Amino acid sequence: MRGPKPKSVEQRLAEGSRIRDRRPSPKPFTYQASEVPASLRGDYEARREWTRIAPELERLGLLTVVDVQQLAAYCAAASRWVRANKLARKTLLAVGVRGNPVPHPAVRIAESAAAQMAKLAVEFGFTPMSRERLHVAPPTLDEDELF
């Protein structure tokens, strides 16, 4: 056992600690639908995932200019996962060198992509448990959104 989890800066400040908040604060990323990273432009599934997730992360204040490539890596892994799953559904087994059935290579690709997605999903707060650890100021609502 390593002891209790370390407290966040917000928790320590709320408790009256005299620490200085020295965390860097990168410039927020302003989402534009046309600003899909160049690495995703030739991949329909990756672009689709980007346009699904990036606006919400921006709205929550979780996407900064230094996070763009990590989100692009998540979207590329999501694309590999979708394509490998489509292929694996068609043929779950392949014929091995000696004629015996072996799992189709797409199954391993899908598993690898899912593992990469899971790691990056935690970093961005895409899972219920990882959202519990995030400390984000609530988004401001316009008066028009209230009625």
Q: What is the residue-level pLDDT of the chain in tens, covering all 147 positions?
A: 577 777 666 666 667 776 665 655 666 666 665 578 888 989 999 999 999 998 888 888 788 878 889 999 999 999 999 999 998 888 777 777 777 777 888 888 999 999 999 999 888 888 777 777 766 555 555 555 555
Q: Which amino acid is at 55?
A: P
pTM above 0.75, yes or no: no
Classify residue 80: in a domain, yes or no. Answer: yes
The per-residue pLDDT for 43 is 93
Classify residue 144: in a domain, yes or no. Answer: no
Q: Which amino acid is at 79?
A: S
Classify residue 84: in a domain, yes or no. Answer: yes
The per-residue pLDDT for 143 is 59
Classify residue 146: in a domain, yes or no. Answer: no
Classify residue 147: in a domain, yes or no. Answer: no
Classify residue 4: in a domain, yes or no. Answer: no
Task: Kindly list the distances between the CA atom of residue 134 and the CA atoms of 28, 40, 92, 94, in Å, as whole numbers in the listed order.
Answer: 17, 27, 39, 43
Classify residue 15: in a domain, yes or no. Answer: yes
Classify residue 44: in a domain, yes or no. Answer: yes
Q: Please name every residue paired with 94 in a beta bridge, in sequence order, or none if there are none.
A: 102
Q: Which of 78, 80, 54, 56 is nearest to 67 (CA)?
A: 54
Which residues make Cβ contacts (< 8 Å) with residue 67, sequence separation at least 6?
A: 26, 29, 57, 124
Dihedral angle, C-alpha 116, 78, 56, 27, nearest 10 °: 60
How far apart are alpha carbons 110 and 112 in whole angstroms?
Answer: 5
Q: Structural domain tally of the chain?
A: 1
- What range does the domain containing 93 cover? 9-138
